[in-house]
Structure 1
Amino acid sequence: MTRRGLLRRAAGVTIAAAAGPALLSVPTYAVPGPTGNGKTEEASGDGRSGVATGTAGPNGWELEKAADAGGAVWTRPVPGTGLAGVAVRMGDVETVLVHVIRRFHYEIDQMKPGEVIGWRKPGEVRKGLAEVNQASGTAVQIRPGHYPHGARGGFHAVQTAVVRDVLAELEGVVRWGGDDSTPDESLFYLDAPPGDDRLTRVAARLRGWQEDPARGAGTHVDVQDPRRRQAAQELHTRQTKRSR
């Protein structure tokens, strides 16, 4: 097993142990989890109906009333970071958002427990803003206290270059709240609706990297490489044309 594989296994064991019987003993519905192709099996039965809202967020994913309660949103480990975990939508969404968090941690600044916020209750997010996507488990806030809502300039040039590189690496399936008309530089959210082939493709590529010690988050990335910079700039141009 690779070093990365050992880190993932250790992180998973730590989260399960911290959660205790709540994650080890599940009632009459099945806990959702990634299938062989990385997609998520929705939970069925009373657990699913208890968290469903029937309302889609701005990016098209259904909001859920609770995390770790039988729906599609569960607290997941972020290997190699020391973070306790983040509540996100399982499957391809999880794969992509955890990658964002890990690259931020390795290349922008190391984070401490509590500095990443995933799912939030539908009643706690402000309607009309991209943060609503957190209620579907398809967005995360990284250090929201460091990057005030409505303000720009929280990242210096090199850090911004990393953010742009991450977005381009993910082929635009994630959008940065710093590019919105009302900026939230702490926010990273899925910019692909359910069933989008780009999400499936990108997530599959990221999972393949997890088995290669020379690829993926935690490995050296030259964000100043001309080809990467061009891809990042082209994506930035496309995404900012769709100001939100």
Structure 2
Amino acid sequence: MRDVMTPAIRLDRRRFLLTGLGATAGAALALGGVTTTVAAAAGTQWRGRTSANGWRVLDSAPAHRVEGTGGVHFDAADGDVATMLTHVVRRFHYEIATLAPGEVTGHATSHTVAAPYESNYLSGTAIAIRPLLYPARAQGGFFPHELVVVRDILADLEGVVKWGGDLRPAKESHFQIDVKPGDPALRRVAAKLRGWDIKPDEGAGTIEATTPARMKAAKALAARQR
């Protein structure tokens, strides 16, 4: 029988199935091993003064409004870090899914982490986009054409930002600064993005992720970051 569902219906159905699978897996764990389930949910306490990516843990971080998104904002370290993470959110909003306020989270003050990379929220150097839809340990949340955009965003940022889908355990909502403070690549790429912002034909909203050159660059970076 021919598939007559629209892309939007297929997307909703897939996400419903993913959510259902997650609930089923949780129920199975509850029946077969309560201790394991509780331990995974509780996480561990991050006690370092720096996060896993080498940045200083912050008591607070400023809010950054993402232009062109209708009020989406997130808390993160200021300066080049915010420039990089804002680019991720803008391209996600324009090319993958329209975001609403509250769907992007950033700096956190809770030191309970499910994996070391979650400590990067403490330093304001990581964000989660729709974390309820793309939770930790769940994979396959993006369609192939959406993954092309994710990989292209990372290529824009030249390896300075890493995607949680390439981490273990995977967390597809997660994006983090993947260089140490003072790394020249961070300054250079952030300056490139600011240059794009003042040109009407460059930057988020103008990019075609499927050109051969861009796909080649994205594939090469993915091979290095995985």
**Coarse TM-score class (shorter-chain normalised):** 0.7 to 0.9
Structure-1 separation of matches of 2:225 and 2:180 = 15
Unmatched 5+ residue regions in structure 2? 1-46
Report SS of the residue matched to 1:58. coil
Structure-1 separation of matches of 2:204 and 2:49 = 33
Report SS of the residue matched to 1:175. strand
Say which one has the larger Rg.
Answer: 2
Structure-1 separation of matches of 2:83 and 2:125 = 11
Structure-1 separation of matches of 2:145 and 2:208 = 11
Structure-2 separation of matches of 1:234 and 1:122 = 36
Aligned length: 180
1:55 to 45, 49, 52: 49
RMSD across aligned positions (CA): 1.3
2:88 to 90, 93, 100: 100
State the 4+ residue runs in structure 1 displaced beyond 6 angstroms.
none
Contact between 1:74 and 1:87, CA under 8 Å: does it hold in 2? yes
1:129-173, CA deviations, whole angstroms, 9 ceiling, x for partnerless residues?
Answer: 312101100000000111121011000000000000000110000
1:205 to 151, 172, 192: 192
Partner of 2:111: 123
Normalising by structure 1, what TM-score? 0.71
1:31-89, CA deviations, whole angstroms, 9 ceiling, x for partnerless residues?
Answer: xxxxxxxxxxxxxxxxxxxxxx9711111101112x2xxxxx21111111013421010
User: Which runs of structure 2 are paired with 1:1-244 in the superposition (5 Å)?
Assistant: 55-65=49-59, 67=60, 73-126=61-114, 128-219=115-206, 221-240=207-226
Structure-2 separation of matches of 1:208 and 1:75 = 22
Contact between 2:74 and 2:106, CA under 8 Å: does it hold in 1? yes
Aligned-pair identity in percent equals 48
Contact between 2:111 and 2:119, CA under 8 Å: does it hold in 1? no
Partner of 1:19: none
Contact between 2:104 and 2:127, CA under 8 Å: does it hold in 1? yes
Contact between 2:160 and 2:177, CA under 8 Å: does it hold in 1? yes
Unmatched 5+ residue regions in structure 1? 1-52, 68-72
Report SS of the residue matched to 2:122. helix
Normalising by structure 2, what TM-score? 0.77
Structure-2 separation of matches of 1:183 and 1:135 = 19
- Counterpart amino acid of 2:192? R
Report SS of the residue matched to 1:90. coil
Report SS of the residue matched to 2:111. helix
